[in-house]
Amino acid sequence: MPRKITAELATLDHRKDCERIVYLLQSYEFPWDYERSLEFALFRTYAVPSISRLLYKTGEFTNRPRKRYDDTELILYEISENGFDSERGRAALRRMNQMHGRFPIDNRDFLYVLSTFVFEPIRWMERFGWRPFTENEKLGVFEFYAELGRRMNIKDIPTDISAFEEFNRQYEQENFQYDQANFHVGSATRNLLLGFYLPKFLWPVGKPFINAMMDEQLRMAFAFTKPPALFTFLMTGLLKIRGRLLRYFPERQRPRLGTQVKRPTYPEGYNIEELGTFKSMKSS
């Protein structure tokens, strides 16, 4: 039976309909995979000392990792689920710009983080999704985040997806290097991800599986232990099998909305204006 969402995606224009493309990919076609890919996109940004040092200095990722994770997800979901020009989308973007505006963040660091939101989902689906993104979908994701970047006042965003990917790879080559802040922020984030699936006493067992999802360059920047080849084989193999099996599942009939997921950080719900950090950055 033809998939209606996949068919609709094929009719959309990557420039005019980029918001709709991202919404359908994220909420219908690949909800679990898309969320995992963005988790690892953020992981990659913590391998950059200039980024991890700032995060470590705020104390947010080491003291309250779940809140920091939820705040980041909710702000991005508010924009992608409601649209840039919706009331909630504008409020989420305003809140994000307020937070970032308090810190001296280099434009290239901003640009790199933005690039991971484009390319990590694309790469994840190529490896583990039930299908890869089409070229039109890739361009739609690129156009969406390029527009997000412009609304965040990020400068020098490439107008071509190939140039943006080249920037992404070159930036990693130049900036991925070990720093103690990388290790602390990366470890706190790894523990957070393990906590989604395992009780705390099993975290030591789960760490090699998380490490197995990282390439050598990324692991070295965190000083994480290289797992035995068997762990990498099992982890990637299971995810690939899962992707193949999903091809035979019926398509989702209702969207999986990240803004509607119950979160322990906000058991009674949340206000966009209260998301994120407010206190002054701690002194080093």
CB atoms inside a 10 Å sphere around CB 112: 22
Confidence of residue 277 (pLDDT cuts 50, 70, 90): confident
Mean pLDDT, the chain, as a whole number? 93
pLDDT of residue 117 exceeding 60: yes
Q: What is the mean pLDDT of residues 35-49?
A: 94
Q: What is the pLDDT of residue 64?
A: 79
Tell the burial category of 164 from Cβ atoms under 10 Å away from its Cβ (0-12, 13-18, 19+): buried
Q: How confident is the model at residue 278 (pLDDT cuts 50, 70, 90)?
A: low
Distance, CA of 142 to CA of 222 (rounded, Å) = 28
* The residue to which tokens 């937070």 are assigned: 99
Averaged over 112-138, what is the pLDDT?
98
pLDDT bucket at 36, cuts 50 / 70 / 90: very high
Question: What pLDDT is stored for residue 279 in this prediction?
Answer: 53
d(CA 140, CA 138): 5
What confidence category does residue 283 fall into, taking pLDDT thresholds of 50, 70 and 90?
very low
Helix (H) or strand (E) holding 179, with range, is none
Q: Is residue 45 within 8 Å of 174, Cβ to Cβ?
A: no
Is 282 a residue whose pLDDT tops 50? no
Q: How far apart are CA 238 and CA 129, in angstroms?
A: 12
Q: Which amino acid is at 277?
A: T
Q: In whole angstroms, what is the distance from residue 192 CA to residue 40 CA?
A: 12
pLDDT of residue 225: 95
Which residue type is seen at 135? E
Alpha helices, DSSP H only, in the chain? 4-11, 18-24, 31-45, 49-58, 60-63, 65-82, 87-100, 107-128, 135-151, 161-175, 180-195, 203-211, 216-222, 229-246
266-280 mean pLDDT: 81
Q: How confident is the model at residue 103 (pLDDT cuts 50, 70, 90)?
A: confident
Q: Where are the domains of the chain?
A: 4-185
Mind listing the pLDDT tens digit for each residue in 135-167? 999 999 999 999 999 999 999 999 999 999 999
Residue 281 confidence (pLDDT) above 70:
no
Structure tokens at 165: 């990917």
End-to-end C-alpha distance for the chain, whole angstroms: 59
Minimum mean pLDDT among 53-62, 101-110, 134-143, 228-237: which range? 53-62
Q: How confident is the model at residue 234 (pLDDT cuts 50, 70, 90)?
A: very high
